[in-house]
Amino acid sequence: MAIQIRDALPSDVKGIFDIRITVKENALTRAELEALGITEESVEAMIVASRCAWVATDGEAIVGFTMVVHEEGYLFAAFMLPEYEGRGIGKQLVLAAEKALFVTNAVIWLETGKTTRAAEFYRRLGWGKETAIGKNDIRLEKSRCQGSRGKGGH
């Protein structure tokens, strides 16, 4: 069955959390997420309040997701089940998030580990203007006009 990208629904939250705790990089347990204020209830409230999350599905199963914070122009999360990595699904999810963020933000941003596969992934999608955050993390930005020139796929 073909992978589908669609808006996330409140009923997808359990699947989103199941993915979040199985990732290879930036792995966090449910308890660690909860300590950061990221709970199933808070994510469901975000999804109900605005179009802020997208899921990739393989049939009925959720295999990846992305989330944004519109007011801050922030790509908050993008994760895939490990067995679905490398198929272009993450790129489709991030491009959906970028498109939504660029509706109301001229510049969008994200934070990730400096030497992670995720950082390389975002750089390949045209994210740049790298700024160090602490010892191991970076902030990357992308501008609306940059995204429309092709590298970001808009």
Q: Are 127 and 142 in contact (CB under 8 A)?
A: yes
Q: What is the pLDDT of residue 146?
A: 66
Band of residue 154 on the pLDDT scale cut at 50, 70, 90: very low
The tens digit of pLDDT for each residue in 74-116 reads: 999 999 998 999 899 999 999 999 999 999 999 999 999 999 9
Q: Are 129 and 121 in contact (CB under 8 A)?
A: no
pTM, rounded to two decimals: 0.85
Alpha carbons within 13 angstroms on the beta-carbon side of residue 140 total 23
Out of 3.40.50.2300, 3.90.1860.10, 3.40.630.30, 3.20.20.105, which CATH number does the structure's domain 3-148 have? 3.40.630.30
Q: What is the pLDDT of residue 64?
A: 96
